[in-house]
Amino acid sequence: MSLTRDPDLVGARARIAAGATTASACLAASFEAAAQPALGPAYLRRFDAQARTAAAAVDGQYAAGAPLPPLAGLAVSVKDLFDVAGWPTTAASKVLAGAEPAASDSPVVARLRAAGAALTGHTNLSEFAFSGVGINPHHGTPPNAATAKLDPTPRIPGGSTSGGAVTVAGGAAWAALGSDTGGSIRIPAALQGLVGFKNTQRLTPLEASVPLSTTLDTACAITRSVRDAVLLHEVLAARRVHLAGKPLAALRLALPQTLMLDALEPAVAAAFEAALRALRDAGARIEPVALSELAELAAINAGGGFSAAESWAWHRQLIEAEGERYDPRVALRIRRGAAMSAADYIELGQARRRWIGRVEAALAGFDAALSPTVPMVAPALAPLVDDDEAFFACNARLLRNPSAVNFLDGCALSLPCQAPGALPVGLMVWGPALADDAVLGASLEIERRLAETEH
């Protein structure tokens, strides 16, 4: 299958470096894309003047002989969880609509700005980042920009980084800063044919952002290619990625048999199997592993998990005073945390540490693991808007695979693996904590192989 999409950020940067275009010209094209009706309510607020100033500054400095910065004055959107100086941070909620403008950038935003990004605006999301579906009853739901090109059915964008993914898929941004607590970067990336990399949590700072779960939240990005993911991770984590350069024939990849292959939609199963065949044909060693520990997750998190407990601690006074202004589906999940005792919370942390130890032992010796990112293609939006049962069932299915990596304190990358002209399907390459460089290196080889084979 061909994975060629619009040029990626690295490619655009190379054109600017060669004098074939300018940052300001690229930004104008991004603004033109952002104005298209297909992007809908992807942005909650735009930073157009600031973005133009940033792009013009890069052009002027580069013309004067200064080095071109890593992000080269190119458009990057910001999820409305992260503080951007001069703008309110509202988490796409009515409850925070009156928030004061931030006095300074959050650390990850500051790193993007220092790397030469033209920050284009705060993007829409599931309120307070609750849900992998991406529906927002307050500001509207951004339409899935990728599936809109393939069929007329309005489909969910995936969440919670819904607007961010739409800006990238729709051409309004080259990358999107977002967060991943249970799959909120990888789910929309999978459903919109993009790349989403969730790094090990501790590698990127979370200060000056609205939390969902302080234990699981990860600041990370959606991009158009794996090489873009490497670049954005280097910027956000302020570290160099060291790639081993292993070819596929030198990779040993685990294929977990528990949970992650259950109840796959036919389109997902076919795309995933085709990807595995292409990798095996290139010499990759793909070995089934039971990883029965994955079956324990539902019981371990039966009380609502870290997200319920930690969001209740943050929202308790606010939701008691203004609960009627919350999305009812979000309020329901937050209130689950009220039933968790301190002892329950401590036991949850202990159970997690034991579970991580066993999973890391089972994956020892592998370069990475492979799974479908989610078991479905993007479902139609309309049936999920008013039907709570259908919504929560869909949300649980979307979160099932990616959330296991968050509980592992691991890292994972979703990249597209569907056939040309088919609805997007994500392939997840993942591993334990601090295996980021191995996962990125394997993902580069996998992306290259899938692009060559057009399976």
- The Cα diameter of the chain in Å comes to 61
Helix (H/G/I), strand (E/B), else coil: 287: strand
Looking at 106, 184, 307, 371, which residue is catalytic? 184
Whether 2 is a known active-site residue: answer no
What separation in angstroms does the CA of 360 have from each of 228, 363, 364?
Answer: 28, 5, 6
Looking at 24, 160, 213, 443, which residue is catalytic? 160
What separation in angstroms does the CA of 222 have from each of 4, 114, 174, 251?
Answer: 16, 19, 9, 25
CB 409 within 8 A of CB 342: no
- Joined together, the tokens standing for residue 287 give 């070995």
Query: Distance between CA 55 and CA 52 in Å, rounded?
Result: 5
Whether 30 is a known active-site residue: answer no
Helix (H/G/I), strand (E/B), else coil: 86: coil
CB 76 within 8 A of CB 114: no
- Joined together, the tokens standing for residue 215 give 């234990």
Report whether the peptide linkage leading into residue 307 is cis, meaning its omega lies within 30 degrees of zero: no
Whether 225 is a known active-site residue: answer no
Looking at 24, 79, 371, 443, which residue is catalytic? 79
Q: What is the DSSP letter of 259?
A: S
Say how many C-beta atoms besides its own lie within 10 A of residue 17's C-beta. 13
Buried b (16+ CB within 10 A) or exposed e, 300-338: bbebbbbbbbbbbebbeeebeeeeeebbebbbebbbbbe
Quick one: which of 113, 111, 165 has its CA closest to 134? 165
- Give catalytic residues, as residue numbers: 79, 160, 184
